Structure formats: structure tokens, C-alpha cells
Structure 1
Amino acid sequence: MKKLLGVILGASVFTLAACGKQEAPTNDTAQSNKDSAELQTITIASTGSDADIWRHIASLPETKEAGLKLDVKNFTDYVAMNTAVANKEIDINAFQSYAYLVAFNDANTQKIAPLSTTYLEPMGIYSSKVKSLAEFKTGATIAIPNDGANESRALLLLQSAGLVKLRPNFDNVKGTEADVVENAKNIVIKPIQMATAVRVKDEVDAIVLGNTLAMEGGLNVLKDSIYYEPVDQTTKMNVNVLATAADRANDPILKKVGALYHTPAVKAYVDEHFAGTKVAVDQPTSYLTSTK
């Protein structure tokens, strides 16, 4: 009986020891927890295809190797994204052109700043009724964005296309259709909310769309537009940027996020998923304000 009791007690001790061993984290798990604790979490507000890109970047080993963990927040309101960054509720946002950033700063006391350049998406003119610029009839209606810098950008595109002429001192951030000085075909320029632009495409002769909205509507600016922006010095205000609070523009941790966008893995992803419509621009932010 004593022998049997000894066997039972021995088995119980072995079982308890085994349970205790299972509850302890393995070396790999402990190291993983340690690694995660050492990563710097950066919150990024974004929307549409930009959010898709940043979710992909968040999953890359290059991001972890940079010591970063990216938390991508989806927003639908552009002003709210900038306000959240200005208030430091969000570290960075990824959605806007430099011109849009300048327009936001002009309209608000709280300021944001470009952290890094990312790409330029050509703005295009799309039509279901004509196949070339020459086919526009007198009095044709073209819908353009009605928000700040995008309105100015659209008007510059119409001028580049030869449809209108703008005053020599046209403000490429605050300009409006009132700045049109020549309009040979009496084009009716109709500013509208761009969120609904693709849906009203067939109700006007043409619409001017930024590439993000165009892609969400199943359009490719290189294939489906009848005219799109040239990618050169004249369009550098339209380069997309990562933005942060003005006093964080030189934060070395945040600068790492900008560098991630230009890694080979991200370039391959963007080329594959966006058919060349996001043209990479890897320049210092001083490029945006330089006169050359």
C-alpha cells in the first residue's frame, strides 16, 4: 500500500511539474514579446488606396526592422485627418497633396507640415461623351472639385489641356473659376463635391478627378482619361506627402516612416496594384518649395 501511494504521489508531482513547465513562456515567445515591446508604435490616418498601401507597409519585415509598429486608422474626412494630426491625436496622415496641405494651413490656426514626399498621382479629365479634347462642343460642362487646392489644380489642368486660360498671377492653391480670363468654347465649369463625382460622370460632358477617386470608380488615369497632368516641375505642388504636426516635421522616428515608403518592397507592391498611376517621388521636402 505504501509502495502504491508512493507511485501515485510521484506521478502527481510529475504532472504538476509538467503543467508548470507548459505555463512558462518559451524562449521564442519571450523574445517575441520583448521585441514587440521595443517597437515604436506610430499611428497613421489614411483613406482609400493610400490606407491599403500603409496596411501593407505595416505588415512588412522592413517595418519591424526599422523598430516600428504602424497602426493604420481609416478616415473618410480629409479635414478631420489634418485636424487630428495638428492636435497630435494621430502621428502622421497619408492622403494629401502638398497644395492641399498649404490650403489647410492657410485656413487654420493649427499648422501641419510635410514629413516626406511619396508620389504624384496625375489628375485627369474623364468623359463618357467625347474621346478627345477637340471634340468638346461650345458650352460643354466640365465638373471639377470644389475644395481649395484641388479646384485650383483642376483649373490648371484645364489650362494645360488648352481649354481655358488663367490670369498670369493665378494662385495654384486658392485660385477659382473666377480667374479664367479666356474661354474660347465657353466651357461651363461646375465645381462639385468630388465624393459624388464618379456617380455624376454621365450627367456632364466631363469630370476632373484625382487618381484616388478615379481608381475607386474603376478608372485608370493612364488609360481612361482623355487628358492628364504631365509629371514635371509644373506639377510638384501636387506631389503627395506624409504630414505631421508642424513641430514634429524633423522627428527622426517619424522620418523613418517616410523612408519605408521608398523601399523596394513597397515600390513593387504599388506598381503591381496601381498600374503605374502612383509615380514615386523620392525628394527632400525642400523640393516642394524650391524655385528650381
Structure 2
Amino acid sequence: MRNVLKSVSILATAGLALSLTACGSDSSSSGSSPDAPLKVVASPTPHAQILEYVQKNLADAAGLKLDVKVVTDYVTPNTSVQDGSADANYFQHVPYLEDFNKKKGTDIVSVETVHLEPLGLYSKKVKSAAELPDGATVGLPNDTTNEGRALKLLADNNVITLKEGVGTAATPADVTGNPKHLKWKELEAAQLPRSLPDLDAAVINGNYAIEAGLKPASDAILLEKAAGNPYANILAVKKGKENDPRVKKLAELLHSDKVKQYIDETFKGSVVAAF
């Protein structure tokens, strides 16, 4: 599948089209000098928005220059960090990262958790999960960790029952109780908001819900709880780059009281600070 990506440099007010390649990049292209801009690959919402707030309000005083590349897929951010064309990324949670490392042979590590985007069940046709009709078609994200997470959300709310002990590794094959005889439509996470009108309901990642104009806190008919949630989104780097002073500085800024206040006031519960 061809990845569609947009690149935005937060150091300039005008848009600048840039190209990120997933492999074959010269690792020296991402400078590690303390004075070089820190290149961070991020999803548009809310990740790049949060980074833009940091750049405009906190980075200068901390002596940090940020160059943020905005991408719309869940692969390019990790391959770019792995091949050295970017210094860090901010788009994923630890279960996704661990699964990616295992499947792709990468060695990317978490630096800090930053925020949680509660995953939710949305529908244009019903106002509650109880109203889903018999045989309804429900969209699920097709990547391993988020599909399991989506099924767990449904199980936690008694819509389905999962095989005991399967947890967030669940797939539709692990559904042992399905009183409404729900049918599953597995799609790339980014496609789910666009497909929602054609489905009875869909479990959508928080960032893609927000980008589509949905408000998780009020529009989701089921929503993950923040307490004890393992899916907080992280700042991540290639192993060995954790001690880069620029990375440490960004991590510190992302954990500041001002960033927490920005998240609370901007996203009003649809994105929750995880620190």
C-alpha cells in the first residue's frame, strides 16, 4: 500500500513539502550536534499539535530547535527513526512499538509516555452499543495491537466475550461469545473514520477520530478508561539515542505543567496527559 505522507517543518510558517523514505537513507542525515534541529516524525493530531505548542512556547527558552515531519501512516515514523533519517518519533504506544520491533527487526525504544488517546466505538446509525442490530458490521483496526485493544474495549463493555487470558492479543478468532452475531470488517486504522458511514459501528483510534472531526469524549458510544491504561503514546528513539541532550530536553518539555495544561484545555478529555 502506498503511504501518503505530508511533511511540515515547525521551524517555518509556510508549508514545505518534504519526502521521507522508509529505507536507504544515510543515517548521518539526522544530525546529532546539540545545535542541530531535532527531527521528530509525528502523526498530525494530536502529536504534531502538541509539538507545535512546545516549539512556539517552550523550545526557544530551552535552547531546543525542532523540525517536525508529519506523516499519516503507522510505519514511516519507525522506519525513519531506524534508518537515521529522523531522530525521534511521537505517534505510538508501547504495545505497538514492541510488536513492530518484533516483526520488523528494529530496535526502537520508549523515552517517555506523554498522553493517552482513548480508543472508542463510534456509529452514525445507533446511539449506544445496546442498539446495534443483530448481525451488525463493526470496523476494527487491522494492526495487531490495536485490533486486540478494540476487541478488549468491546469485551470490557459486555458486547462480546473473549477467550480467557487472551488480553490485548485478541483477534476475531478469539471471540467466544457474540450474542449479537457481530461481523467484523478489518481495515487500516486511518481508513476507519472514512468507512464509518458504510458500517454499523467502528472502533477508531483517538487521533484519527479527532482528525475526522469526531469528539471522543462526547461522540464515542464506548470509550476506553484512562486509569491503568497501557496505551499511552510515547516519545521514541532508536536504541542508543536516549541520552541525546536534545531528546532529553524535548522529553522534559513534553512532561511540563504547561504541556499538561495545553492538552487539558485544547482536547477537553479527548486526549489525556499521561504524566
TM-score range, shorter chain: 0.7 to 0.9
1:204 aligns with 2:199: yes
Q: What pairs up with 1:205-284 in 2 under 5 angstroms?
A: 205-233=200-228, 235-236=229-230, 238-282=231-275
- Any conservation in 2 of the 1:58–1:71 contact (CA below 8 Å)? no
Q: Which residue of 1 aligns with 2:110?
A: 114
Q: Name the counterpart of 1:157.
A: 153
Gaps of 5+ in 1: 1-36, 283-292
Whole-angstrom distance in 2 between the partners of 1:246 and 1:84: 13
Separation of aligned partners in 1, 2:73 and 2:193: 18
Q: Where does 1:82-231 land on structure 2 (aligned, <5 Å)? A: 82-172=78-168, 174-231=169-226
Question: TM-score, structure 2 length as denominator?
Answer: 0.83
User: Which amino acid is the alignment partner of residue 195 of structure 1?
Assistant: A
TM-score by length of 1: 0.78
1:158-189 CA distance string (max 9 Å, x none): 111211111123152x4311111111221112
What is the CA–CA distance in structure 1 between the aligned matches of 2:184 and 2:156, rounded to whole Å?
15
CA contact (8 A) 1:124 1:211 kept: yes
Match of 2:7 in 1: none
> 1:250-273, CA deviations, whole angstroms, 9 ceiling, x for partnerless residues?
444412211111223322322232
**Which residue in the other structure is 1:51 paired with?**
48
SS in 2 for 1:99: helix
C-alpha distance after superposition, 1:62-88 (max 9, x if no partner): 322322111111222321110111222
Q: 2:28 matched to which residue of 1?
A: none
Stretches of structure 2 lacking an aligned partner (at least 5 in a row): 1-32
